Amino acid sequence: MKVDLDRFEGEFGVLLFEGTEVVVPRSWLPSDATEGAAFIISLKKDGDSQASQRVDSALSRLTEEDVSGDGLEL
């Protein structure tokens, strides 16, 4: 996805993505980043993350029949 660096605010950069401002730490940006620069950002799923494992576990438990009637604690 393409984002534009709108401006810096202290230690943060304000990116514009389809009209939405996204504030990120300046340290996440290239050291030579300047206001008005365009960037391509890509995202990928981290299948090994703890959050991903918790979600997978919760989904697995949700698909099992709840015989106790106590519900499911996430």
Mean pLDDT, 10 residues at a time, over the chain (74 residues)?
95 94 94 95 76 77 61 52
Q: Which of 37, 38, 35 lies closest to 7, judged by CA?
A: 35
pTM: 0.60
Q: Are 40 and 1 in contact (CB under 8 A)?
A: yes
Q: What is the pLDDT of residue 12?
A: 97
Q: What is the pLDDT of residue 60?
A: 77
Q: What is the pLDDT of residue 44?
A: 79
Which domains, from first to last, does the chain contain? 1-42 (2.30.30)
Q: What is the pLDDT of residue 16?
A: 96
Q: What is the pLDDT of residue 52?
A: 72
| Angle at alpha carbon of residue 52, lines to 65 and 12, rounded to 5° | 140
Question: Distance from first CA to last CA of the chain, Å, rounded?
Answer: 32
